[in-house]
Structure formats: C-alpha cells, structure tokens
C-alpha cells in the first residue's frame, strides 16, 4: 500500500461543474494550458417565457460579461432542448437534444439540411451501456452558428417552431447559468 495515498478519501463524485467524465478530462487539459481556474456561480435561474422571448435571452447570453454563460431552452414536454454555451474569448457553441425516434430525427435532419447545417454522420446506434431498453436522446451540435444576436435568435426560434412544433403562445423554460473566474 502506498503511504502517500489515502484511499479512504477517494470517491466517485465529480468536482463541481462536471456533469460527466469528459468534462473533467477537458477541464484538466485546459488547466494545464491556462493555469488553475476557480469558477464561481453568479446566476442559476429558470424562468418561464414564450417563443417571442427567445431573442431577449439570447441577447443576455451575448452581453454577459461573465467567464461562462449557458442558456437552456426546453419546450413544455421536455422532448426538445436547445443549449447555448458561451465561454469568454471563444465563439458561442450550441446544440439541440431530442428523443431518439425516427420521426423526430427525420424532422431535425430535414431542418439541418434546409439550413445547410452539418448533420452528425451516424446516429443509428444506441449508447454503449448496459441499459439498452431505456429511451435516450440524440444531440446534434449546431455548426456555423450565426455571430450576432438576431441571427442566433432567428435560428433558435425556427428550430423550436419547426422541430419542436411550437407556437408563440406555448410556454418555454429558459434556464440561465453564469459564472466568473475567481482566480
């Protein structure tokens, strides 16, 4: 037994800010390059709005001065989720998550094709874990995201209208998280 390692202090929990193991690995590779970083949450809110409010929340994402800003927009049934991540100094990144059902995927693929967005090469396979009977979502990253608030707002609104089959009067959930670098 190694005298320098206290095995009683080991655990299976991930550090704050990590949802899965890849977050931890990506974070540790950035730490080597950028140096140590301590993120402190400044905002973690969920509000209800409607489709016409999308532009307001996308604007908040673009104007936030914090190190990290995330915006999640979910339709009423939770079947479709749009996510926007903006890290200070980087271009915003976005994705759409939806149930792995043929009709849902067809609608999203047709939307991506019409908009000239890159479609993932293969989504025919189930995740490689042992609970194969459970439903799971597909996640499509949105490449070639517009660089302005109006362009991103229009894209998100169109995704929610066409892929989520939403109308202006249906409620949406907007989840906002912000954090600053305390280091």
The predicted pLDDT at position 32 comes to 39
**Domain-located, residue 163:** yes
The predicted pLDDT at position 26 comes to 61
Mind spelling out the 3-state secondary structure of 3-53? CCCCHHHCCCCCCCCCCCHHHHHHHHHHHHHHCCCCEEEEEEEEEEEEHHH
**Domain-located, residue 100:** yes
**Domain-located, residue 172:** yes
The predicted pLDDT at position 117 comes to 87
DSSP for 113-179, please give it.
Answer: HHHTPPPPS---SPPSSS-TTS--EEEEEE-S--SSHHHHHHHHHHHHHHTS---TTSEEEEEEEEE
78's tokens: 């939770």
The predicted pLDDT at position 175 comes to 93
**Domain-located, residue 19:** no
Q: Does residue 142 contact residue 117 with C-beta atoms inside 8 Å?
A: yes
The predicted pLDDT at position 159 comes to 92
The predicted pLDDT at position 110 comes to 92
The total domain count for the chain is: 1
**Domain-located, residue 31:** no
Show the domain range for 82: 43-120+135-181
The predicted pLDDT at position 52 comes to 95
* 94 DSSP β-pair partners: 84, 142
> Which residues of the chain are modeled with pLDDT < 70?
1-37, 122-136, 182-183
**Domain-located, residue 11:** no
């Amino acid at each position: 037994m190694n005298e320098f390692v206290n095995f009683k202090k080991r655990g299976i929990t991930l550090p704050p800010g990590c949802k899965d193991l890849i977050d931890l690995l990506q974070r540790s590779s950035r730490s080597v390059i950028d140096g140590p970083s301590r993120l402190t949450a400044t905002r973690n809110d969920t509000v209800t709005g409607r489709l016409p409010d999308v532009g307001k929340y996308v604007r908040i994402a673009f104007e936030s001065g914090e190190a990290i800003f995330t915006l999640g927009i979910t339709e009423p049934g939770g079947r479709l989720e749009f996510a926007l991540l903006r890290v200070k100094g980087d271009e915003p990144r976005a994705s759409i998550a939806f149930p792995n059902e043929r009709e849902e995927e067809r609608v999203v693929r047709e939307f991506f094709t019409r908009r000239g967005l890159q479609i993932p090469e293969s989504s025919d396979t189930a995740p490689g874990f042992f609970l194969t009977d459970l439903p799971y979502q597909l996640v499509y990253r949105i490449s070639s995201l517009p660089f302005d608030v109006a362009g991103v707002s229009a894209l998100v609104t169109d995704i929610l209208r066409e892929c989520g089959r939403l109308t202006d009067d249906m409620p949406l959930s907007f989840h906002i998280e912000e954090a600053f670098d305390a280091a």
